[in-house]
Structure 1
Amino acid sequence: MLQTTNALPLHTQASNYMREKIYNREWVVDEQIPTEFELTGILGMSRGTVKRAIKALVDEGLLVQIRGKGTFVTRPNITHPAGNCLLSFAESLHSQGIEFETHVLEQQTIPADEFLSSKMQVPVNAPVLFLRRVRSVDGEPIMYIENRVNLLQAPGLDRVDFNQEALFPSMERCAGKRIGYSSARYAAKIAGEIRGRILHVGEEAPVLHLEQQIFYADNTSAEWGNVWLRANRYVVGTILQRV
C-alpha cells in the first residue's frame, strides 16, 4: 500500500485508504476497524503514521476511539429535519427523545451596526440580543449557536435565562406572535481554532454550518443566527414530495 513515489504525505495516503474503506462500506457503521498494529502491516507504514491518519479521521467524525476497546466507525445519530416544518434545534432534539444540556457562553444587548441594521431590518443602534450557546448530548458538545435577535419585536427577551429556556418559544412569548418562516442555507466548513475548541474537535475538522434568518408570521424580522454542527453527530434529513 505504501507508495514512495506518491507526492502525498504517508499519513494522508493512510487516511485516504481508511476513508475509502468507510465510504465503500467495507468498514460499516459501529464496526471495529483493524488495530494500529494490524494497519501498520496492511499499509507498510510506521505506527506513528497510522496513529496520525486515524486521528485525522476521528477529527473528521468518521471514526471514534473508545479507551480499552478500540477504534470504530461512527454513526451520525442525530437528525435535523429540513422541509416544510420549521423546528428549532431544541424542538428537534425533544421530538427525537434526546436529552441535552444548553450552556450560555455569552448573553448581552448590543446596538445594531450597519450590517445588522440591513440584515435584520432594524434601525442603526436598535437593541439586538447577542446570544452564544453550546448544546451538549451525554456531556459531549454537538452544536455551537450564535443568535442575534430583534429586541424591538420581543421586549423582555434579554431577561430570559437561556440555560433553561428555549429561544423560539421565548421569542414568541415576548413578541406576542408566532414565528412564521425562515430563510436558511447549509454549507460544509472547517471548524477553525475557536469553534473547534468549543466543539471538542480539531481545528481542521469538518463541521456543518447553518446560516438562518427567522421571520414572524407578519413578515417582520425576528432573528439572524449561525449554527455550527459536529459532522460526526448531526445529519440533515428531509422528506420531499414529487409534484
Structure 2
Amino acid sequence: MIIKESLVEKTKKSILAYIFKENIARNEKIPSIEQLASLFSVGRSTVREAIKGLEQIQILEMVQGKGTYLSVDPSSLWNDISQLRSMTEMAELSGINLINIKIEKEDIKADDYLAEKLEVKIGAPLVVLKRVRGLTGEPIVYLEDVLPQELTEGFTKEDWEGSLFNALKKNGILVSYSRAKIIPYIPDDTFIKKVGLEKVVPILLLQHIHYNAKSRVIAFSSDYYHSEFFHFEILRKRI
C-alpha cells in the first residue's frame, strides 16, 4: 500500500529547505504566510498548518501581530570542518531536534578495505552502525560508522541511538582527532531507496577516520549530507 504524503507535510519540508537555502538566522523573521503560499503554490491554510507543525517542534515561533520567526540556529550545521563534532552535537548547538528515522546495526568481519582503514586484522569482528536522521520525516543526513566490536561491548540501546562520541566517552574511549576528506556524491537508486530520499539531490560525502590521543583508530565514518541543508566552511591561512 502506497501512502501519499500530505500537502501540509510537503510544505513543512519546503519551508525548512527555504530556511537553509536563504541562510535565515535565529530570531530572524521568515516571509509571511501569503508570501510562502505564493512561493510554494499552496493555499494559505496549508502554510498555516505547516507553520503550526514547525512550531510544535520548536523550529518556528509565531508572534501575534508581528509574524513568524526562526527559533533555532541552522548556521551551526554549516560547520567549520576543522572542528570535530558529532552530528548530534552539531544539532544540539543549533537547537534543532534531529530524529532517527532509521537505525540499523550489523556485526561483520573486516575485509581488506576495512582492515586497512581501521588498522585491524582481516576477519576482525566489527560493528557497522547505519543511521538516517532528519527533520519532520525529511532525511537530511545518512551516517555510517564502522568500529571494532570490542569498543562497543558496554553500549546500551540509548548509546546506539545518540551521539557516538558521547557513547564512546562514557565507555572510557576518547576521540581526539580525525583525518577527513570531502567527496561529491551523486546518489544512485539503491541509495535513494535506502535513505528515503524523494529525488536525486547532490550529496556531500564526508569520510573520516577517528583516532584517540595515542593515534589508535577508533572508527571509520562515512557521513552523507543533503546539500540543501548543509555546507562546510574551511579556514585557509596564507603561510
Compute the displacement of 1:169 (Å). Answer: 1.0
Q: Is 1:216 the counterpart of 2:212 in the alignment? A: yes
SS at match of 2:219: strand
**How far apart in 2 are the matches of 1:157 and 1:195?**
31
Q: Which of the pair is proportionally richer in strand?
A: 1
Q: TM-score, normalised by structure 1?
A: 0.64
Q: Is 1:189 the counterpart of 2:185 in the alignment? A: yes
Compute the displacement of 1:96 (Å). Answer: 1.0
- Gaps of at least 5 residues in structure 2 are 1-21, 25-29, 47-73
How many pairs does the alignment contain? 185
Q: Which residue identity lines up with residue 174 of structure 2 in the other structure?
A: R
Cα 1:178–1:158 shift into 2, 3 Å: closer
Deviations 1:52-74 (A, max 9, x none): xxxxxxxxxxxx8464369xxxx
Indicate if the aligned counterparts of 2:177 and 2:212 stay in contact, CA closer than 8 A. yes
Indicate if the aligned counterparts of 1:144 and 1:227 stay in contact, CA closer than 8 A. yes
Deviations 1:199-242 (A, max 9, x none): 4231x321111111111121100111111111111121345566
Q: Which residue identity lines up with residue 173 of structure 2 in the other structure?
A: K
The equivalent of 2:164 in structure 1 is: 167
Indicate if the aligned counterparts of 1:83 and 1:240 stay in contact, CA closer than 8 A. no
Cα 1:80–1:211 shift into 2, 3 Å: same
SS at match of 1:116: helix
Indicate if the aligned counterparts of 1:104 and 1:163 stay in contact, CA closer than 8 A. no
Cα 1:109–1:66 shift into 2, 3 Å: farther
Indicate if the aligned counterparts of 2:101 and 2:139 stay in contact, CA closer than 8 A. no
- Gaps of at least 5 residues in structure 1 are 1-26, 36-63, 71-76
Q: Is 1:129 the counterpart of 2:117 in the alignment? A: no
Deviating runs (4+, > 2 A) in structure 1?
27-33, 64-70, 77-80, 82-85, 157-165, 194-197, 237-243
Indicate if the aligned counterparts of 1:142 and 1:230 stay in contact, CA closer than 8 A. yes
SS at match of 2:232: strand
Cα 1:28–1:106 shift into 2, 3 Å: closer
Cα 1:209–1:127 shift into 2, 3 Å: same
